[in-house]
Chain A
Amino acid sequence: MSTDQSKIRNFCIIAHIDHGKSTLADRIIEATGLLTSREMQAQILDNMELERERGITIKAQTVRTIYRAKDGEEYIFNLIDTPGHVDFNYEVSRSLAACEGALLVVDAAQGIEAQTLANVYLALDHNLDIVPVINKIDLPSAEPERVKTEIEDIIGLEAHDAPMISAKTGLNIEDVLEAVVKKIPAPGGSSEKPLQALIFDSIYDSYKGVIIFCRIMEGTVRRGTTIKMMATGASADVVELGTFAPGQFLPCEELSAGMVGYITASLKNVKDTRVGDTVTDAQFPCAEPLPGYKKVNSMVYCGMYPADGAKYPDLRDALEKLQLNDAALQFEAETSVALGFGFRCGFLGLLHLEIIQERLEREYGLDLVTTAPSVIYKIYKTNGEVVEITNPTNLPDPSEVEHMEEPIVSAEIMVTTEFVGAIMTLCQERRGVYLGMEYMETTRALLKYELPLNEIIYDFFDALKSRSKGYASFDYELKGYASAELVKLDILVNKEEVDALSFIVPAASAYERGRRMCEKLKEEIPRQLFEIPIQAAVGSKVIARETVKAMRKDVLAKCYGGDITRKKKLLEKQKEGKKRMRQVGNVEIPQKAFMSVLKLDED
């Protein structure tokens, strides 16, 4: 079956978080008649429970629908839904590379946000044709005309004839579909050339093995073709290929240039099918891979430990299963004196971390203790060696350290002008280097900063939201490494160092962080049978101290008569409470205390 290339439209939807991307995707699927609204589970593309709940897209999803346009022709729409968060920027860029055009969804009330811009630039980098769509025009606060002007002034896209829709109610969806046909070009490429296909996602299926989601740029792939991943070198015979019907795979005989589809080839590990890699025919390879491939690296690390030490093998199994679907998730076993056996896990960013943590807890029923997130520090040792560390505990002795480097990101923050001052103060507090500011219009500005990554992985996003009453939006990308005055802050509880509480801080803020940490732990650690000193130390120097006073009283001075059951239940409850504590030396530390470093900046 050959398909007329001119009748194919490969496009994606880009938007700031919450601007209605997934809802629009649902409407498009619905309007093209594949599913009735009754059959549609809301937001069919966000099929992870967590995605629907958080209202974000985590994994790229793709669907093929057929639209009978007003010109009487049938068009094949390949809609590639991209992840909506900065943590998944690379995946977004690969999804974009698989398309010819993008629908830019802008909220009619909120206008352009930092991510809108970031995504537009990304789309422009890939030479996509961008079709603006004004969404949520049914909102009372909608100002579609203002937003259109904003799009024209800030982005420089023509927006006067942009579809004005409500994805929620389905209003004017037809306009969007027509715009896709008219404004987004058909794919190019020749089905006769050597195979060249871009992997924009891959998932693991326990029956089929790895399923590669790809866009055929050149050539044709058929069942039986021996394919080869050009970057990873993995090769295998194609077992099945096909296109994406909503919610299911639709096998076909071949995929040729311009088409979007899936390939299974009895590959067992998603690591072999990296996003961005090029699939080619092992016998007739293309001359060179598609541009833009890079191996995504974890940026944020933390220790994950089972609350119940006996669940360690369960945690390993769960991580292994998640990793099958998520090449960006890294983990290796580590041991903590305080927390026992666990894993040091690497993530793309804090959201990625939170998602994995939630999935482990929800889908695998694990109760976790997570240590404070860390970034990768480069340690230049006096002996000339350079080591990278992700766990503060592994920092070499200060006498062996010549200097240290930390990762730096370049960040763009969009904020209404009234909050510029507050946000600049925040960035300064976080050791930000001011690069510049652009006024997007009279009331909004785009702030550009260089920020150390370790300053934004804790709670920067929350602080940003709270200091701008929710108006600021934020986007960043890794820029490189810069030398910094950093020290390891150790926490001693009852004179014993608790490794899981150590973290790396800029020397200048060590005292402040240490003091707050001690205060926080004083709140978190319940009174025990003896007085417990809590100290923060840099090297052997104690820089802050608090004391948890000894418990005065915990006695049931009441006579329940013969009703022993009740008394026993009280004791059982108390004993259960003890189990939720981590024993460090003689001290019982509640599990949530290990996360308290995360919340130091709550005021």
Chain B
Amino acid sequence: MEGKPLAVYLHIPFCEKKCAYCDFLSAPASLDIQKKYVKALKQEIIAEAGRLLKNTREQKPNNKLEEIKLSDKDCTKKEQQSVDGSTQSRISGKKNECLTEYSVTSIFFGGGTPSILPAGIIADLLAVLREYFVVLPEAEITVECNPGTLDRKKLDSYLKAGVNRLSIGLQSANDQELALLGRIHTFRQFQENYQIAREAGFRNINIDLISGLPGQTVQVYENTIKEVLALAPEHISAYSLIVEEGTPFFEKYQAGKLLLPNEDTEREMYSLTGKLLCLSGYAQYEISNYAKPGFECRHNLCYWERQEYIGFGLGAASLIQKERFTRQRELSEYLSAVETKRDTRIDRHRLEKKEEIEEFMFLGLRITRGVSKVRFQQEFHLKMEEVYGDILKKYQKLGLLFIDQDIVALTPRGIDVSNIVLCDFLLDSFPNVERQ
């Protein structure tokens, strides 16, 4: 019997050099700090697993004994499976602490640049996770990498530890653009890294791209796509540049020194992405994500489908047991909190039904195949039309939503202006819930 699906996110807030557009929690740091951080991460994983286990037991006080016994058995079985699979197994002496309530379906090392860490660390972290969580053998395990930080030895150790997917940030195939973005690599270096990854045996690679760069023309962007298609990655994430407050780009933008392509050019790039990728056998499955069949990023999807996920590390977000929270965003605070066994969770928020419904819609609609009315009803015991009838009709009429018996999805035009549509799914009041 498998537990509920759970996705795990580990945040590595380190990079070689901060990019000019980046507003993620990440900064260069000494090896010493990196080590301290990894140690804290491991402690946090253990503490969190313990907490979840305790919650689970408290929720079922009558079956307490039986439950614990069951977990023992179950846990052992899982580890057997792991051994059978190709992944490394570390048999723990503390079997009864394994959390069987959940089965981990995906693990994502994000950042920052997780690949900046010394070779063995990803393996160590995965080992700790496996010790305290049930990680399914087929789980998708991704490491975000930056070109220039990869070598064969590191990649081999990833593979050995069970990493089966790489997400490499390329952003552009044009060296001038890369320099403007403040990237540490050239396109050539990327190609080399990509080659090594393929040689090492990675069969599922994502390449990140950004369109709408300052001064970018459609031709230059088209060239980037073509270069990327020539490499035939399994997955492509193509984002539009968003100038975020607090970044060097923002300052330039404020000073009027960042000449961004206009709306029309930007949209042309977006539709070009879809067209070229589609012709090469990629399907769009989310506003910014494209994949060859069967290679959709499971981890990414779980955010939009509201599957439970737990995040570890600086500022990492979680949705678990109907609660959203994130973690300390200040590195020193975070480290001391973990060290002194204080709670690292902040901004804890228990979701009300109204919020769950809103999220179901505005997150789910980002996925190209849309949301299911049937699932809506199963989950909330309300018809989608009861809650959103007018809005659905309005946007269907405007050609922004596709609606059939079960599915509600954004049309291509709806994707272009999705914020306008999505914000209407936030509810002012929610009288229907009283009837439940």
Task: List A residues at the B interface (Cβ < 8 Å).
Answer: 529-530, 551-559, 561-565, 567-568, 570-572, 574-575, 578
Contacts of A529 in B (CB 8 A): 398, 400, 417, 420
Stretch at the interface among B155-163, B180-188, B312-320: B312-320
Q: Are A565 and B422 in contact (CB under 8 A)?
A: no
Q: Which of B262-280 contact A (CB under 8 A)?
A: 263-264, 266-267, 270
Q: Per a CB cutoff under 8 Å, which of B242, B315, B326, B417 touches A553?
A: B417
Q: How far is the CB of A527 from chain B (nearest CB, A)?
A: 9
Q: Are A571 and B423 in contact (CB under 8 A)?
A: yes
Asked if A575 meets B426 with Cβ closer than 8 Å, knowing A561-B317, A564-B319, the reply is yes
Q: Are B418 and A564 in contact (CB under 8 A)?
A: no
Asked if A564 meets B303 with Cβ closer than 8 Å, knowing A553-B417, A572-B423, the reply is yes
Q: Are A556 and B423 in contact (CB under 8 A)?
A: no
Q: Are A562 and B311 in contact (CB under 8 A)?
A: yes
Alpha-carbon distance A574/B347, docked complex (angstroms): 22
Kindly state whether residue B415 has any CB partner on chain A within 8 Å.
yes
Q: Per a CB cutoff under 8 Å, which of B266, B317, B426 touches A562?
A: B317
Alpha-carbon distance A442/B347, docked complex (angstroms): 73
Alpha-carbon distance A398/B358, docked complex (angstroms): 52
A-B contact pairs, 14 of them (CB 8 A): A552-B266, A553-B263, A553-B270, A555-B287, A556-B242, A556-B287, A556-B418, A557-B270, A562-B311, A563-B315, A570-B419, A571-B419, A574-B420, A575-B426
Q: Tell me what chain B mostly uses at the interface: helix, strand, loop, or mixed.
A: mixed
How many residue pairs bridge A and B at CB < 8 Å?
98
Alpha-carbon distance A571/B362, docked complex (angstroms): 9
Kindly state whether residue B177 has any CB partner on chain A within 8 Å.
no
Q: Are B424 and A575 in contact (CB under 8 A)?
A: yes
Contacts of A554 in B (CB 8 A): 416-420
Q: Are A578 and B423 in contact (CB under 8 A)?
A: yes
Q: Per a CB cutoff under 8 Å, which of B240, B266, B326, B358 touches A558?
A: B240
Return the chain B residue nearest A527 by Cβ: B263
Return the chain B residue nearest A530 by Cβ: B398
Q: Which of B288-343 contact A (CB under 8 A)?
A: 288-289, 300, 303, 309, 311, 315-319, 324, 326
Contacts of B319 in A (CB 8 A): 562, 564
Return the chain B residue nearest A579 by Cβ: B428
Kindly state whether residue B9 has any CB partner on chain A within 8 Å.
yes
Contacts of B400 in A (CB 8 A): 529
Asked if A555 meets B326 with Cβ closer than 8 Å, knowing A562-B303, A574-B420, the reply is no
Q: How far is the CB of A434 from chain B (nearest CB, A)?
A: 46
Q: How far is the CB of A573 from chain B (nearest CB, A)?
A: 8
Q: Are B324 and A557 in contact (CB under 8 A)?
A: no
Task: List B residues at the A interface (Cβ < 8 Å).
Answer: 9, 110, 237-240, 242, 263-264, 266-267, 270, 287-289, 300, 303, 309, 311, 315-319, 324, 326, 347, 349, 358-359, 362-363, 398, 400, 415-420, 422-424, 426
Q: Per a CB cutoff under 8 Å, which of B289, B359, B415, B426 touches A555?
A: B415
Q: Are A572 and B426 in contact (CB under 8 A)?
A: yes
Asked if A558 meets B242 with Cβ closer than 8 Å, knowing A529-B400, A529-B417, the reply is yes
Return the chain B residue nearest A555 by Cβ: B418
Contacts of B287 in A (CB 8 A): 555-557
Alpha-carbon distance A33/B41, docked complex (angstroms): 75
Contacts of A568 in B (CB 8 A): 358-359, 362, 426
Return the chain B residue nearest A574 by Cβ: B423
Alpha-carbon distance A568/B316, docked complex (angstroms): 17
Given contacts A529-B398, A564-B303, 20 further A-B contacts (CB under 8 A): A529-B400, A551-B420, A552-B264, A553-B270, A553-B416, A554-B418, A555-B240, A555-B419, A556-B287, A557-B238, A557-B242, A558-B239, A558-B288, A559-B288, A559-B289, A562-B316, A563-B315, A565-B347, A568-B426, A571-B422
Return the chain A residue nearest B419 by Cβ: A554
Q: Are B239 and A559 in contact (CB under 8 A)?
A: yes
Contacts of B418 in A (CB 8 A): 554-556
Alpha-carbon distance A554/B358, docked complex (angstroms): 19
Contacts of A565 in B (CB 8 A): 317, 324, 326, 347, 349
Contacts of B303 in A (CB 8 A): 561-562, 564
Alpha-carbon distance A365/B175, docked complex (angstroms): 55
Q: How far is the CB of A180 from chain B (nearest CB, A)?
A: 58
Contacts of B317 in A (CB 8 A): 561-565
Contacts of B266 in A (CB 8 A): 552-553
Top 3 A-B pairs, shortest CB-CB distance:
A562-B317, A557-B240, A571-B423
Q: How far is the CB of A159 from chain B (nearest CB, A)?
A: 55
Q: How far is the CB of A504 from chain B (nearest CB, A)?
A: 36
Q: Are A562 and B309 in contact (CB under 8 A)?
A: yes
Alpha-carbon distance A512/B158, docked complex (angstroms): 72
Contacts of A558 in B (CB 8 A): 239-240, 242, 288
Contacts of B270 in A (CB 8 A): 553, 557
Alpha-carbon distance A568/B363, docked complex (angstroms): 9
Return the chain B residue nearest A577 by Cβ: B423
Q: Are B363 and A574 in contact (CB under 8 A)?
A: no
Alpha-carbon distance A107/B18, docked complex (angstroms): 61
Most buried by A among B266, B289, B400, B422: B422
Q: Are A564 and B359 in contact (CB under 8 A)?
A: yes
Q: How far is the CB of A187 from chain B (nearest CB, A)?
A: 65
Alpha-carbon distance A565/B315, docked complex (angstroms): 12
Q: Are A552 and B363 in contact (CB under 8 A)?
A: no
Q: Are A552 and B267 in contact (CB under 8 A)?
A: yes
Q: How far is the CB of A578 from chain B (nearest CB, A)?
A: 7
Alpha-carbon distance A530/B362, docked complex (angstroms): 22
Q: Are A574 and B239 in contact (CB under 8 A)?
A: no
Alpha-carbon distance A563/B313, docked complex (angstroms): 13
Contacts of A551 in B (CB 8 A): 417, 420
Contacts of A575 in B (CB 8 A): 423-424, 426
Q: Are A557 and B288 in contact (CB under 8 A)?
A: yes
Most buried by B among A557, A563, A564: A557
Most buried by B among A530, A559, A563: A559
Alpha-carbon distance A524/B237, docked complex (angstroms): 36
Q: Per a CB cutoff under 8 Å, which of B239, B316, B363, B419 touches A564?
A: B363
Return the chain A residue nearest B244 by Cβ: A558
Q: How far is the CB of A333 from chain B (nearest CB, A)?
A: 27
Return the chain A residue nearest B262 by Cβ: A552
Return the chain B residue nearest A551 by Cβ: B417
Contacts of B349 in A (CB 8 A): 565
Alpha-carbon distance A575/B358, docked complex (angstroms): 13
Q: How far is the CB of B31 from chain A (nearest CB, A)?
A: 26
Most buried by B among A530, A555, A568: A555
Alpha-carbon distance A529/B421, docked complex (angstroms): 10
Q: Are B300 and A559 in contact (CB under 8 A)?
A: yes
Alpha-carbon distance A552/B263, docked complex (angstroms): 7
Alpha-carbon distance A567/B362, docked complex (angstroms): 9
Contacts of B267 in A (CB 8 A): 552-553
Contacts of B242 in A (CB 8 A): 556-558
Contacts of B238 in A (CB 8 A): 557
Q: Are B419 and A556 in contact (CB under 8 A)?
A: yes
Asked if A561 meets B9 with Cβ closer than 8 Å, knowing A552-B267, A555-B287, A555-B416, the reply is yes
Q: How far is the CB of B421 from chain A (nearest CB, A)?
A: 9
Asked if A563 meets B326 with Cβ closer than 8 Å, knowing A529-B398, A552-B416, A575-B424, the reply is yes
